[in-house]
Structure 1
Amino acid sequence: MMLDSAYVDVTNNRDQNRFELRLSGDLVGIIGYFDMGDTPVQGHPVISFMHTVIVEDFGHRGLAAVLVSRALELAREYGWKVKPVCTYVQRFLAGSRDYRDVVVQLPRPAGSR
């Protein structure tokens, strides 16, 4: 991974409902999210992490994990509960216990598995 000399920053672009990962100032990844609005859990807003995208030229460098980790940390700071819709976020969370307090599993509809 060649990130040693690059500056990595993750910010919340509220206008576009996404977290943005910038590498030395260049936008190279996003996590799009959706505010579920009327489904608070224990008084916390529920935000669905919908999709994670890393620019192809920057793939396979661990940037998606950096982006997801920081987005979850920011969600915690904001008092959000996160519903992981994105399969990458789901896999990331399956391998980590660090964010269990942030993640919410909403009840599944009757008859679903």
Structure 2
Amino acid sequence: MTTSSPSMEVTDNLEQSRFELRMDGELVGIEGYRVEGAVDDPRHAGAGSVVAFMHTVVQEEVSHRGLAAVLVGRALDEARDRGWLVRPVCTYVQRFLDRHPGYEDVAPGR
């Protein structure tokens, strides 16, 4: 018997201002964000932009599998690559940052 793991992909849906987690092509989680300040359109948010991570949602059918951590980790990695400074509004993101101090550069001063 062989088993295969589902493919996972996190992408940024700029139109909806959210990162999306897909398993085998199906949307199973989102990380909603809001660009703060003069530039409120994520398509124009460059290095140094402050971006609030507002909420993390994973479908109940796939909860308790660590998918929220995958979603938040990859969203923070993307924020780092873009030079964004993250303001963690979502309590899940706050707890994630407490457990993963390697993201201090992305969410300084929290």
User: Structure 1, unaligned stretches of length 5 or more?
Assistant: 107-113
The count of aligned residue pairs is 100
What TM-score results when the alignment is normalised by the length of structure 2?
Answer: 0.86
SS where residue 98 of structure 1 aligns? helix
- Are 1:22 and 2:26 matched, yes or no? no
**Map of 2:59 onto structure 1:** 55
More helix by share: 2
* Mapped contact 1:34–1:50 kept (Cα < 8 A): yes
**Equivalence for 1:73:** 77
Question: Following the alignment from structure 1 to structure 2, what is the Cα–Cα distance between the partners of residues 45 and 11?
Answer: 19
Displacement of 1:56 in angstroms is 0.5
In structure 2, how many angstroms separate the alpha carbons of the residues matched to 1:74 and 1:18? 12
Q: Distance in 1 between matches of 2:37 and 2:75?
A: 19
List, as ranges, runs of 4+ consecutive aligned residues in structure 1 with deviation greater than 3 Å. Answer: none
SS in 1 for 2:107: coil
> How many angstroms apart in 2 are the aligned matches of 1:105 and 1:22?
31
CA shift for structure 1 position 37: 2.2
Gaps of 5+ in 2: 40-46
Task: Give 1:30 deviation, angstroms.
Answer: 0.1
Deviation per CA, 1:9-40, whole angstroms, max 9, x where unpaired? 0000000000000001000000000000239x
Equivalent position amino acid for 1:80 in 2: W
Q: Deviations over 1:39-93 (max 9, x none)?
A: 9xxx600000000000010100000000000000000011100000000000000
Secondary structure in structure 2 of the residue aligned to 1:15 = coil
